[in-house]
Amino acid sequence: MSKKLNLRAVDFFCGAGGLTCGLKASGIDVVAGIDIESSCKETYEKNNKGAIFLDKDITKYSPEELASDLNLLRNDDGMIFAGCAPCQFWSILNITKNNSKKTKNLILDFQRFVEYFMPGFVIVENVPGISSHQGSPMAEFITKIESLGYKVSKDVTDMSLYGIPQKRKRFTLIASRIIEINLPKPTNKLKTVRDVIGIKNGFRKIEAGTKDPTIFLHSVASLSKKNIERLQMTQANGGDRSIWQNKREYSLACYSSDDKKFHDTYGRMWWDRPSPTITTKFYSISNGRFAHPEENRAISLREGAVLQTFPKDYEFISSSTSSIAKMIGNAVPPEFARIIGEHLFCSVNK
C-alpha cells in the first residue's frame, strides 16, 4: 500500500477481552468491545485501557446505533471488525444443544454490521464445527462477504502450532476488501504445560479448596475426600482413571458401561505436552483432563488463564469461580490474537 495504515478494531462478542488484549499488544487500537454479558464489563475495561465495553444484545442493536455510539465511519480501510461469537451449538462435542440454540446464528447478526460499515478487515474465530456442520451459517456468511468484495482466508488452526500451550483447534478466518491476505503461518514453537505453570513459573504448591484473595487468583476448587483419594491413586504426569475405575469403592457408575467414554475426565495433564483445550469447566476434574500434573487438585484459575496466554497481571473481577472460569475458557487466547494483529500490520504496511 502507498501509505501506512493505522489499524483500529471493534471486538464483537468480546467477553473478558482476550482478543482485545492480544490485538492491543500488537499495536492495534481497540476502541470498544461489545457483549451481552454485562458481568464481563469491569474485567474488560480494567485490563484494556482506552477500550470501552458496550453492554448490547447484538440481535437487537443496529449498525446505525453503533455508528452513533462510537462515531464510526463507513468504508474505513483501517477498521477491523472481529466477530468471535458464542459457538457451543456447533461444537463437535456430543453435548446438549438446547441452551445454545439462541446463539447459533449470531455470525449472521455480525454480518449486518460488516455489510453496513464495510470495514477494511474482518476476523472470525469459532469452533471447527461451524465450518463443517450441515446447517451452519458460516457458509452463508462467507458467500455474502465475498460478494461484497472481501478476499477470504480461512482454515481450522491448531493453536499449539502458534506457541499457545494447549491443544486448541479453532476455525479462523481473516478477510480484507483492500488487500490479498492469508492466515499467519504457524510458528511451530511448541510450548508445554511445564513452560507456563509449576513452581519455577511462580505457582506455589497448593491443596484443593485453596482460595487466593489476591488478584493473582491461584485459587482452586474444593474436592471431596473420595476424589482426593482418586487423584492420589492417579499416576503423575498424564495418568488417567483406569487404575481405580474398576475398584468398587472408587468406580463411577456413569462410566461403567464403557470405560473408554470421556476417557480424559479425572485425568492429569502432562508436563511436557500442551494442555488440552481450556474450556469453561477447567476448574473441575470431572469435566476433562484438568487435574494438575502432580498435585492432587484441579488446575487453578490463574493456571487456566496462563494456559490461555493471559498475562499474569490480567485481573478477573468476580466473586464466582464459575464466572471467572467462563471468562477464561470462552476467550480467544491473547497470544493468538497478538499474532494475528502483527500479521495484519505487516500485511498492510509492507
Q: Which residues of 318-336 are buried (b: 16+ CB within 10 A; e: fewer)?
A: beebebbbbbbbbbbbbbb
What order of strands is seen across the sheet that includes strand 79-83?
Answer: 52-55, 29-35, 8-12, 79-83, 121-126, 169-176, 151-158
289, 269 Cβ separation under 8 angstroms: yes
* Beta carbons within 10 angstroms of residue 206's beta carbon: 17
DSSP for 183-252?
PPPP------HHHHSSGGGT-----TT----STT--------HHHHHHHHHSPTTT--GGGTTTSTTT--
Residues sharing a CB contact under 8 Å with residue 157, sequence separation 6 or more, in sequence order: 169, 170, 171, 172, 183, 186
- Choice among 40, 87, 254, 346 that is catalytic: 87
SS3 state of residue 183:
coil
SS3 state of residue 246:
coil
Would strands 52-55 and 151-158 be described as parallel, antiparallel, or unpaired? unpaired
Beta-strand runs (E) in 17-109: 29-35, 52-55, 79-83
Amino acid code (one letter) for 230: R
Amino acid code (one letter) for 86: P
Tell which residue, 85, 114, 131, 108, has the closest CA to residue 177. 114
Q: Is 87 a catalytic residue?
A: yes
Find cell 480461512 and name the residue: 154
Give catalytic residue positions: 87
